[in-house]
Every structure is written in structure tokens, then in C-alpha cells.
A = this chain, B = another copy of it.
Amino acid sequence: MKISDLILEIKNKDSFLCIGLDTDINKIPKFLLNEEDPIFSFNKSIIDKTNPYCVSYKLNTAFYESLGTSGWVSMKRTIDYINKNFPKIFTIADAKRGDIGNTSKMYAQTFFANMNFDSVTINPYMGSDSVKPFLEFENKTSILLGLTSNSGALDIQLKKTNQDYVFIEMIKSSMNWGNEENMMYVVGATKPQYIEKIRGLIPNHFLLMPGVGAQGGDLNEICKYAINDNIGVLVNSSRSIIYASQEKNFADKAASEAIKLQGKMKIILSQEK
């Protein structure tokens, strides 16, 4: 998918919501465990009910890998289901991969060619040659870790170099590896104080912002600086939407949570016009 198509979908739906399918076998409603593929059954129900309110689904690969080969089957079934039924939805493999060139090439092959995700998150710590194999795929997006939402971001990303923070130096290094058509950045919604500075460097790139919801980030606060002329933001929420209820109507409850966030986004977008 081209990013221009994502922007159209955001405008059509008045939503820049990404729902994180961090599907944990220990957290889904118990009655689903009798299904042949409980993870896929859960995802399918969530997707069927929430898709009108979001423009993106993000699959956290760790949750699928932890179930071994059956988890990979569930992940593949989920991405195939989205691609077939909701082709305008932007899909993200939240895999945080990155390795030397010949290995990154394999990861890019996995997520872009074999699984057919629109995008994959990448840990850029190993530098340009670890990212470039991903950028060679047409109409696919590489989402680099900019500044992550967790407390550990202090340990390395928020150390100061001679010029600036490590994460700022990372963004400066990387901004010319690709362009705003094939690269985005992850910027944690829990650290709004850095967004203005990040936007100064990369005014046009999309930002994928996790951390609203269970992690405590505030939607209005992050949007103040993050939104640009093309919206330029995807806000991810995972646990607070998908685990809203353990009852039979869990997917309806998830949709209610999604609608709440989409309603707030609609107001924000109307103020931008």
C-alpha cells in the first residue's frame, strides 16, 4: 500500500487509529479456547467489529512466535484475512527486526513478500545496511524506532551525543536512507515533550505512536505537535481495546473502546481543517 492511500483512508474514516493485535492466549476469553484456532478466532471477531473505526492493524510478532509454529499459522491467517476482506487497511508487522544486510534481506522477504504486510517495524541500532534491504520493496513501508515508549528509552536513546540525544542522531542518520513515502518512525506517546523537536527534523514522515491506553499516553497532547498537513500520525492502542471484556460480546466491547478513541480523533481532525 502507498502512504497516499493510507491518508485517503484516514480522511474517509475520520480516524488515525491503529489497533494492536497483541493477542495473548492467556488473556483472550476462555470460551474461545475450544475453537480450532483460538488466536485467529479472537482476531477475526475483533477485526470484524472494529474495522470501521480504525485504519490500521498492528500484529505484535512476539505474541504469535511464543506459540511456535501454530502461532505463525494464526498470524498468517490473520494477515490474509485482513488483506482479503479489508484491503484498504494498512497492516504492520511489529517485529522490531534488523541485522546485517544478508540477514535483514531475509526478514524483509518474510514480512513483505511471504506474509504480505504493508509495513514492518525495524530496530535501526545496526545502522543503514541493516535497514536498506527493507527499503528495496516497492509500496512497502519501513517503520524505524525513533523514540520508544518504555522507561528503558533513557538507557541509550536519551543519552546525549556531542550534538544531541542518541535518538535524534539516529533520526538524522536515517532520514536519508529512505523518504517519507517508504519510511515512518515509532515515537512513544508517553514522551510528548520530544515530539516538537522530532517534527522539526522530520516534518513530513508519518509517526506511529504506541503508548496511548494501558501505557498512559494522552491523545490530545501528542496530537498538538505530531499532526501535520497530511495528518502524519497513526496512534496505536492494543490492550485497552482488545481486552476490554472477557464476555461473549468481547468484540462489541472492543468496538466501543475503538469508537471512543475514533470519536476523539474525529474532533482533533475537524479542528485541523
Contact = CB atoms under 8 A, between A and B. Distances in A.
Interface string A149-174: 11111111101111000100110011
A126 interface: yes
Given A156-B169, A166-B166, A170-B156, A129 B107 contact: no
A245 interface: no
A107 B96 CA distance: 12
B109 A66 contact: yes
A150 B100 CA distance: 6
Interface of A: 22, 24, 60, 62-63, 65-66, 68-69, 72-73, 76, 94, 96-104, 106-107, 109-110, 114-115, 123-131, 145, 148-157, 159-162, 166, 169-170, 173-174
A65 B73 CA distance: 12
A150 B127 contact: yes
A208 to B, nearest CB: 14
Contacts of A62: 97, 99, 103-104, 106-107, 110
A15 to B, nearest CB: 24
A128 B110 contact: no
A107 to B, nearest CB: 5
B96 A98 contact: yes
B155 A174 contact: yes
Contact of A106 (B65, B109, B125): B65
Contact of A150 (B101, B106, B161, B170): B101
A142 to B, nearest CB: 14
Nearest to A63: B106
Ranked 9 nearest A-B pairs via Cβ = A127-B152, A127-B155, A62-B106, A125-B125, A129-B152, A100-B150, A66-B106, A155-B173, A69-B72
Nearest to A188: B100
